[in-house]
Structure 1
Amino acid sequence: MTAPDFWETGASGRRYSRAYVLAALDERYKAPSAEEWETSDFRCQELAAAVYLLTYLGSQRPARRATIWQQGADGWTILYHRGTVVQDP
């Protein structure tokens, strides 16, 4: 679901390429964690025609997360993702 030029800014401020993120996800799926992740405080805002910003709070390492999605003929695609650690959720 990621665009070919997808990139992510991690909570550390580092920039991660699509290839790096997909490889990290592959590693996580090899040994799934029993931890359950909870999410809350969802908001969705239209940025442009068929482009939306989805924000939410994640419970695992409390962080505000922001993902930019684009709807196209083939479905939804993620263009960008950002995680920012919350000091006091």
Structure 2
Amino acid sequence: MYEAVIVYVIKNAWRGKMDLSEHLVALEKALLTFEVRHNEEKLEQLIAPEFREIGASGAYFGLTEILQRLPEEQNWTARVQDFECYSLGKGICQLVFKAFIKHHDSDSGTFSLRSSIWRQFGDDWKVVFHQGTLVPPFNLAD
């Protein structure tokens, strides 16, 4: 079921079916699913070749490292909330949001403020930059 929803979002959502901010939020959420993270083809549909990330640890990654790392990740869940979408120019937007990542082998988790920059490539949108910054705990939305 999830895979069908993800394929719909990746392939069809921006073609007039929802507004741009909703579409980018849906793409961002898709990147937090194992169905996408464990599928190189889907990752390449959503992540630009020039992608860069500054992780919450301060580590700096490019696309090659991401394509190696994401398929190995498992045993965590993400709760995301408080999305804000900003236009930075024609065909480029920034999403800012809060995330709580809980590892299944722990009662605690990490809270972060995240920022992603998405760029339009023809009819498609791909993330070109992402940064996560650890923050003090915040109230989780229901």
Answer yes or no: same fold by TM over 0.5. Answer: yes
Q: Given the two structures, how large is their TM-score scaled by the length of structure 1?
A: 0.87
Deviation, 1:25, is 0.5
Structure ranking higher in helix proportion: 2
Q: 1:3 aligns with which of 40, 44, 48?
A: 48
**Is the aligned partner of 1:70 residue 2:119?**
yes
- Could you tell me how far apart the structure 1 residues matched to 2:47 and 2:77 are? 23
Structure ranking higher in strand proportion: 1
Deviation, 1:74, is 4.0
C-alpha deviations, 1:5-37, integer Å up to 9, x for none? 111001122211111111111111xxx32x432
Deviation, 1:87, is 2.2
Tell me which residue corresponds to 2:79: 38
Tell me which residue corresponds to 1:26: 71
2:77 aligned partner, one-letter code: E
Local SS of the residue matching 2:56: coil
- Could you tell me how far apart the structure 2 residues matched to 1:18 and 1:36 are? 22
Bigger Rg, which one: 2
Q: Which runs of 5+ in 2 are unaligned?
A: 1-45, 102-109
- Could you tell me how far apart the structure 2 residues matched to 1:12 and 1:56 are? 18
Local SS of the residue matching 1:36: strand
Query: How many percent of aligned residue pairs carry the same amino acid?
Result: 31
Dislocated runs of 4+, deviation >6 Å: none
Q: Given the two structures, how large is their TM-score scaled by the length of structure 2?
A: 0.56
- Could you tell me how far apart the structure 2 residues matched to 1:77 and 1:48 are? 15
Supply the RMSD in Å over aligned alpha carbons: 1.3
